[in-house]
Every structure is written in structure tokens, then in C-alpha cells.
Chain A
Amino acid sequence: MQFDPFVIPFNIGLYFILIYVITRSVIWFRDLSKPDKLRLQRGFFGIAFGMSLKEIFMESLIHRKILKTNLRLGYMHMSLAFGWFLLILFGTIEADIFGARHLNAPYKAIFFRFFNPEHGKTGFEAAYGFLMDLILAFILSGLLLAVLKRFYSKIVGMKKTTRLKLTDKIALTSLWLIFPSRLLAESFTSGAYGTGSFLTGTLGTWLATFLPARQMAYPFWWLYSLSLGTFFILLPITRYMHIPTELFLIFMRNSGIKTGDKAGTYSEVQTYSCSSCGICIDACQLNFSAGITNIQSAYLMKAIRNNDDVTDIAYNCLMCGRCDQKCPVGIELSPIRMIQRRGGEAENDIRNIYKGYFRSRQSVNPENEIIQANYNFLKEEEPGKTDIIYFAGCMTHLTPAIKKSMVKILDASGLKYNFIDEHGGVCCGRPLMLSGQDKEARELINFNSRMIWKSGAHTLVTSCPICYKVFKESYYLDVKVLHHTQFIKMLIDDGLVKMNFLHKKVVYHSPCDLGRGSGVYCEPKEVISHLARLEKSSFEDENSLCCGGSLANMKLSSSIKKKIALDAVNALTKNNPDILATACPLCKKTFSSVTEIKIADIAEIAAEALIAKPLKIYSSSHLTSIKELANI
């Protein structure tokens, strides 16, 4: 039997981590809601499983998404993850074919060279040895980048790198030691026996010229085993837990599980899947415009894992969703932040127990009933029967040019509509939701829903992306909800309105809640191209900027908001457009307060381009898209 005491630390670590991962998975599974459990079971026997395997290969090993955003950073992650995977895979095969027996204990594959020092002299064995050396070299190159990144983050093209806690530092050191100690251990052994390929062989032969290779090898084998063991034991309480957790995340996501609005297994799995890559930090305008570097999603994930107080972090965020779009792990960062904002309503008190290896959830008693929001003073009026409701929204009432333009366009279309909040309406509810007050928001939502339902309309048009998002996502309405840019697009397509072409250069700023938040990217740009010359900017679609005026952040001072707005305007107007167009009253107001450049909503541009025609009421029979809406 091949055995040596130095393998003990490795064995302890390995079996510990295996048992730990199994236990934790069982706990996670147990905590899932019933429907999610079913989803997972169905996913296991369905196509989700295959998809997950492919994704695990592409993302957890190759790190395709990071490679796409940042080649050097991607290479670093890939060489460590994929390289280590190959090393284990080919190491196991090596031990299986060339070892004394088939089906060996894992340590025999890991420490193969120690137990088979004479191996690797003949042709095929040497070729295999070459392959193993190549993989090791691949990993070491990535490791070199990682070490450099720690000290000079610019090397991998990153402006910021995440800060570490003590256990992370110890784990990091042991991780860094694993591959160099393997290199030295194998080299000394090869040097002593005259084996090894281009890397271990050459280094070994050279070291053997001035060092007693046989004696030197043994301590390095110990070091190799110790660093592996330490790394495995610390893994669950460090950020490296993301390595095993991400596999669960991918599988759960492919099975159709979503974050929802309460903390649970899925949000926890996502929190642990964050690799602290720091991509979200670079994406965040609070970082690059305002110099605030402690609230980004990477830090939120870390604070949740460490059970720190996250109130400040959770609220100091524009909820712009730029980080969601860029996170290579695909963590649903904004929903998780919203869960933290609703913190007061948590059902469970989560504690880290056993030095952070497990978390326990204890039910908390609800706090004393907070004063119930009372909206009885709102007068319910009878809305007239209509086809289309125009809901301008509170913000649009502060930018009357937008609502006037919409009225002009609606009048010109000849459609039957009702400007439901013309003389003041009730808030759509989203500002309350963003501050975590869902129950109060529900009252407003019910109020507005009743009004809309009573009007008998089939379509609701709103000018404000904030309203648009909440009407689409949180109202249960039997009407088609359209942002005015989508509506104008339909009017143009149906030939209900005719527009002039304005000879102006227009650059488009995609508002957060309309673009990233609701996925409406094309229609606004199509409307602009129909009316004027649409210019490109470097911040299009998913990569668009936040105007800085976000309602979601109540922590920033006005001067910081202004700075963010000014940087955004400057970035968007590099090519001196005539108009910076947006599709959100809040963006318009925010931008207008920092620049002399003309800021206009798409509705205003459309109203300017509109060819007036005599008013006549169409019967909705010969319309195409609008008619289709009526039969939804």
C-alpha cells in the first residue's frame, strides 16, 4: 500500500470539504420553497441538467463572460479554474493507467509523482508528462497574474480590486502556495530521479546541480499537502466558496428559479457565488464619477455573507442596474439589494454559527405594528369610458413640455383617450417600493388599478419609465402597458400620425428603468431615426449610463448627483449633437440642471415634427397594431 504521513492534511481537507458541501446542499434544498423544490427536481431530469453542464463548462471553467469584458482578467480566471480542472482530470487518468492499481484514492493522483518517481521515462509516459507540465505551466501563468493583480490591479486592466478579510488572506496565501509548492516538489523529485518534462524536469535537473534534490523534495510535498488541506478547510468561510456554489447557482437558474422578493436559498446561493471579481465596481458610476468605493455589489455580497449591517450599502445605490448587466456570474444584484432594503420585513433573523460555517435562521417576531399608511383621503372619481388611458405620472407633471407634447400627439392621432391624471393623480407606487415600503405601495397600486379597470381601456400609455416598470411588473391589469415611445412608434407605423424630418443631430440616452429595467431599447431609437439623424454614443443599450437623478438613492448629496449627471452629459455629447434626447422626465430634469445643451424628451421632438391635421375621431376598426391590442 502506497502511503506517507504527509498526505494526511490533504486527506482531512478533502473529506471535510466533501462532507461540508453535501450537508450544506441538503440544508439549501430543505429551505427551498415547495414550487422551487419541484422546479429543481424537474430540472434534474430535464434539459436544464444538460444546459447547466454546458454553462458550468463555459462560465465556471472557461469564464467566457469575463473573457469577453476583459481578456487579461478572463485569462487569469480561466487558467486557474480550467487549468486546475484539467490537472485533476488528467492526474486521475494518469494514476489510473500508470498507477499500481485502478481506481485509486484521490491522494494518489494528486501526489502521483511522489509515489511513482521513476515514472515518465518511456515515450508515451514522457508525452503524458509533457502534457501535465504544460497544464501546470498554464496555471502558474494565471497565478502570476493573480499575484500581480493583488498588488497592481491595473495589470489585468482593472481600476479597483476588492478588499480582503483575514481568513480570505490566509486562504489566498494557501491557494497561492498550492501550485508553486507542487512545482518545486515535483521538480526536486524529478531532479533526483532524472524524470520530468520540460518544466519540472528542466527545473529539477538544474536545482539538483547545487541542492540535495532527494532531501529537498520531501518538505515541499508536505507544503503542497498542507496548503491544499488549509485551503479546503477555510473554503466555506472565505470568498472561495464561490467555486462550488456557482455550480449550484447555474443549475438552479437553469431550472427556472428566480430571486423573488424575500431572502431564501436562491438569494443566499447567489450571494455565495460572487467571485469578488470586481467587474461590478468598475461598472458603477458611484465609483468612477463620485469616488464612492464601498457600496458596490461586490461589497454588498460580502457584507451579507459576513452578516454585517448592510443598511448604508443597500440604500446608497442608484439601482441603475449597470452592475446586474455586467456581473459575469449572472447574479440578480438589484433584486438582492431590494431584499436588503425591505430588511425591516425579514421573516428570519440570519446568524452565522460555528464560526461562520453555517447560518441559522430564527423567526423574528414582527415589530410593533408600524402606523398604517392611510390613503382614505384620496377621492375616487368615475373615469369616463375610453380606449386609451394616458397616465403622465408625477414626474411628468414637473416637466410640462412632455405632457403637452403627448396631448398634442394624442389629439392628432384621433384615438379616443382619457388623460387620467391631468388634474393630479395618484403616485404609481414605485418610489415607495424602492424605499422598501411594499405594503404602502400596494394601497396606491390598488387605487390606480380600480380607476384603470373602471375606464374600460385596452391600452395604458405612460410617459415615465418609473411608472412603466411598475405598471408592467406589479399591477395585475388586463390592459397593454406602453411607454410613450412605444406608443408613438405604433402611431407612426399605423400611419395615424405623419411626421416631418427634422434636420438635427440627436443622441439618445436610454433611461435606466426603460432600458435595463424593462428591456425597451429599440422603439425609442426607431422613433428618433424616423424624425431626425440619430447619432451613436459609446454608452448604448445595456451599457447606457444613469443620469444620476435616481429616485432610488436617498443618501447622495445634490452636488454628487450633479457630478454624476455632468459626467454623463459630457460622455454622451462628445460629438456635439443638437439635442440630447431621453425618454424619461427625471433624466430630462436632471440633465437640464447641469448643462446648456438642449435636452428633450422623444415626445417633444415628435410633437415638434408632427404634421398637424384636422381632428377627426377614427373608429378603431381599420387600425392594425392598436386594433390587435383591443383583443388581448
Chain B
Amino acid sequence: MNRDVIVIGGGTAGMEAAGQLAKAECKVTLIEKEEEAGGHVRNWCHLFPDRRNSADVVKYLSDLINQKNITFLKGTSVESINKSKKKFHIKTNRGHEMLSDAVVIATGFDLFKSEKKEEYGYGIYNNVITSADLEAMFRSGDLRKQNGEIPGRIGFVHCVGSRDEKSGNLYCSKLCCVTAVKQAIEIREHLPESKVFCFYMDMRMGGAHYEELYMQSQEKYAVNFIRGKVSEVGESINNGLIVKVEDTLAGRPLKMELDMLVLMAGMEMAEGGRKIAGMSGLNTGENRFFAAADNHFGSNISNIKGIFYAGTCTAPMNITETISHARASVTEVMDYLKESNI
């Protein structure tokens, strides 16, 4: 059997899908725009809810794609996709021209660009960072303010670029609440003297072991949870950050000075995915993610026969869900190849 499948995107979903397809004896080409596979997980330090090292996941995925049936093209992005008869014709920025029988889209997500919420001061005040920046600090093991001091009071702003009509994203990104809880705990472990505050609208703890982690953060780590949306961030004379927030449980406006503020940037349809949607005629939803053919039993299926979705290019998902979704896409691909006698 010589069935060619192209997987676009070499993050968690793309690697998982490529690995499973190769196991099912397809010839797979995995296209990744970065110089290395692994996607966002590579930049993370520890994962929720069990704080396992993200390197474990990256290692599992790298081993998986290390098979003879998989060609990995790094630093490559797709320029055009065309379908004629049953074949997909794909051109890349590096001049490859490829034919394949099926395509799996695994373009993933981009983090919301936090500088767009200018009122939070990302890129303007030194000690306003994003959850991804904090994760990089954890990896380097060095958690400091820009001037080298150790931060004493640290705040987390939930829902940055999610659940926010003004940013154009009405949906919940699902992972930022639990990420904030995990990161808050880690800060308290790194810096036992610190005080940590989470400013949230709702705590969405809808995954296995999330609620337990949340309880632990309060009981064991004394993280303060304040219900209310941060309205603006300013700078005090001694370079501290002044955060204005409405405490909706106490029913009063709060103004507090912090040393560091972490923005929980939401997930958005990736730029690369948007380009592909534009060139291929694949449907996207109002939230700009790819729109699956059916919400219940067709979440891997697109509006073009032979093109399938895997992972967060369709909606925010955690790693467990992404891997399951990618495996499910392989089932759909195999069914399709069989039904159309390829």
C-alpha cells in the first residue's frame, strides 16, 4: 500500500497524528514552520494538573515521529492546497510540490497578543509579563523583576483576550484558569515569602484533578483569589504596578500595588491556520477556529472531503484532549482512504 498523507503543523496534534498514521502504514509528510517540532509544549516548563515535566511529553512525541515512514520538513510552510480528482496538490515556501491522498490540518493556536489590551500595560511596563514569559522564567529557574529584584507581590490576570467582546473573542480558552493556579503554586514554591493574587471572572476548573489543585492552592499555598476584572494598570513612583480592579464579591473598587503582573493570554486560531483557511476554502466559525462538520461526532471532519482536523485548530484543548483528538483524526483518515478505495 502506498498511501500518502500530509500533516500540516508539527505540534502536539500534528506529531501524534503523524506517528499514528505511520503506524497504520501510511507514508507521512509532516510540515512544520519552525526549525524544530514540538509546538507550544516546548516552551512550557511543567504541565497541569500533575506538574509533570513538559520535556516528557516532547520526548514521547519526538520518539513517535522518529519512524521510517515519516518525512519531517522543518522551517516549511504551505503556500497552496489544491484538490483535483482525489489527489491533493500542495506547494510550500521552499519549493516542494507534493501529492497526497489525504491531509490532516494541525495548525494549532497562537497565544493572544497581550499588547492589544493596552490597559494592562504589556510591553509598556517592565514587570507586566504573560503566562508564557513566566514559564520561560521557570525553565531558566530564575524568577526576578527586570531590575534583578525578587518580586514580593505577584498578580495573575485571567481571561486576557478571552471572554472579551472588545478583543473579539467571546469564547473561554479553558486552560488559563488552571494554568494560573498551577503557576501560582509554583511561584509560592519558588518564593515562599511572596504573596500571590489571582483576578478572575469565574474559576473554570472543569478537568480531571483541576478542582483539587485549586483547593490545594488556597489551603496549602495561600493564593488569594479576587473575583473581578482588572480595569487598568498604572505605575507608581517607585516603579511598582498599580492595579485597579473591582472586587465584585466585596462590592468595592480595589487599588493595589504589585511587583509583577502575569497576563493569562488566551488561545486564538493560529495565523498559519487562518492563511490555510483563506487559500483552501475550509470553513471557519465565528470564533475564527476551523469549523468541524459536526460538533458531536464529526469534530475531525472538514467541509472538504479528504481534509481532516486534529487538535487546537478547532477549539482550545489541553494536551490530553489534543492527543485524543489527533488519534481520532487518524481513524477518520483511515476510514476515508478505505471508503474511497485509495
Contacts and interface: CB of A to CB of B under 8 A. Distances in A.
Interface of A: 397-401, 404, 422-424, 558, 562, 588-589, 592-593
Interface in B16-45: none
Nearest to B118: A399
A423 B233 contact: no
| Residue of B121, B234, B242 most packed against chain A (CB within 10 A) | B234
A400 B121 contact: yes
B116 A593 contact: yes
Contact of B124 (A397, A401, A422): A401
23 contacts: A397-B234, A398-B118, A398-B119, A398-B231, A399-B118, A400-B118, A400-B121, A400-B232, A400-B234, A401-B118, A401-B124, A404-B124, A404-B235, A422-B234, A423-B234, A423-B236, A423-B242, A424-B255, A558-B165, A562-B168, A589-B118, A592-B116, A593-B167
Interface residues of B, number: 19
Given A400-B119, A400-B124, A400-B233, A424 B168 contact: no
B296 interface: no
Interface string B229-245: 00111111000001010
A593 B165 CA distance: 11
B159 to A, nearest CB: 16
A398 B233 CA distance: 8
Contacts of A400: 118-119, 121, 124-125, 232-235
Contacts, number: 40
A137 B171 CA distance: 65
B166 interface: yes
A436 B193 CA distance: 51
Interface string B213-257: 000000000000000000111111000001010000000000100
Contacts of A589: 118
A558 B51 CA distance: 39
B256 to A, nearest CB: 13
Contacts of A423: 234, 236, 242
A399 B168 CA distance: 18
A386 to B, nearest CB: 17
Contacts of B244: 424
Interface in B149-177: 165-168
Nearest to A549: B166
B124 A593 contact: no
Contacts of B234: 397, 400, 422-423
Contacts of A399: 118-119
Contacts of B167: 593
A593 B168 contact: yes
Given A398-B231, A400-B233, A400-B234, 16 more contacts: A398-B118, A398-B119, A400-B118, A400-B119, A400-B121, A400-B235, A401-B118, A401-B124, A404-B124, A423-B234, A558-B166, A588-B118, A592-B116, A593-B166, A593-B167, A593-B168
A479 B166 CA distance: 37
Contacts of B118: 398-401, 588-589, 592
Nearest to A407: B235
Nearest to A403: B234
B251 to A, nearest CB: 14
Nearest to A405: B124
Contacts of A558: 165-166, 168
Contacts of A397: 119, 232, 234
A535 B336 CA distance: 55
Nearest to A398: B119
| Residue of B118, B232, B235 most packed against chain A (CB within 10 A) | B118
A562 B168 CA distance: 9
